[in-house]
Amino acid sequence: MKLIIEHLSKRFEKKEVLRDITFSFEAGKIYGLLGRNGAGKTTLFNCLNRDLRTDGGSFLLEENGARRELAAEDIGYVLSTPAVPEFLTAREFLKFFIEINASSIPECRPLDEYFDKISIAPEDRDKLMREYSHGMKNKMQMLINILAQPKILLLDEPLTSLDVVVAEEMKQLLRSLKGDRIILFSTHLLDLALDLCDEIVLLSHGELEVVEKCNLGNQEFKQKIIEALKEENHV
């Protein structure tokens, strides 16, 4: 399975953010979308998710040699700032989500099994989510996307503000999910991308470029990437 982006462009008034991008991503890998804050990573994700209208280009999904347009149900999107209904308990939210998506969730399991999977403690499962920490809300957001089983998972800076323990749990979870999915993980942290991702893609000056991980072990090459990121203007 492949996600194929063809001739994607997006500008805001006079600022060209994405410049005629043509690129493909394969299932079974976590792609680190590396770029400084303001480089256009969130813009790219919002275009893929149809939250932003593009100025040109198309998104295709290729499966078994056949191509079709990317559909909304193909995509899961984990935002950097978790969006969960804080007036519900975690159990109520999970139960509601499963009920309205029962036809697309195979072999529904007892709710506590799902909470165990993302390490939400038993005493926290019946709390209102307004009482949850940022990391716990992020786990719930991730859980919903696991259950929905999207073909493409977009992760917008999901680990940046988490403590070390929660961040490591999330990394292990992502590694366990990548087998039959395309995962795009945006970050401005080079070391995080190197630790988690199978492929590194640099978004710089509105264009995507693959960066060989073996080169990033070379300090001179790493410095070259850092200098390229420094040159970026904020979007």
HSE-up (13 A, CA, CB side) for residue 191:
1
Task: Identify the bridge partners of residue 186 per DSSP, sorted by sequence position.
Answer: 33, 156
Q: Give one DSSP letter per residue of 49-60, joined into a string.
A: TTSS--SEEEEE
pLDDT, tens digit only, all 235 positions of the chain? 999 999 999 999 888 999 999 999 999 999 999 887 778 899 999 999 999 999 999 999 999 889 999 998 899 998 888 889 999 999 999 999 999 888 878 778 899 999 998 889 999 999 999 999 988 898 898 889 888 889 999 998 877 666 787 788 888 888 888 888 999 999 877 788 888 899 999 898 899 988 876 666 666 666 666 665 665 544 4
Domain ranges of the chain: 2-230
As assigned by CATH, the class of the 2-230 domain is alpha beta
Whose CA is closest to 80, among 33, 134, 122? 134
* Residue 28 backbone dihedrals phi, psi, to 5 degrees: 90, 5
pTM: 0.85
Task: Identify the bridge partners of residue 200 per DSSP, sorted by sequence position.
Answer: 32, 211
Count of H-run helices and E-run strands, the chain: 8, 10
So what's the pLDDT on residue 220? 65
Go through 62-99 and write b for each residue having 16 or more CB atoms within 10 A of its CB, e for each that does not: eeeeeeeebeeebbbbbebebebeeebbbbebbeebbe
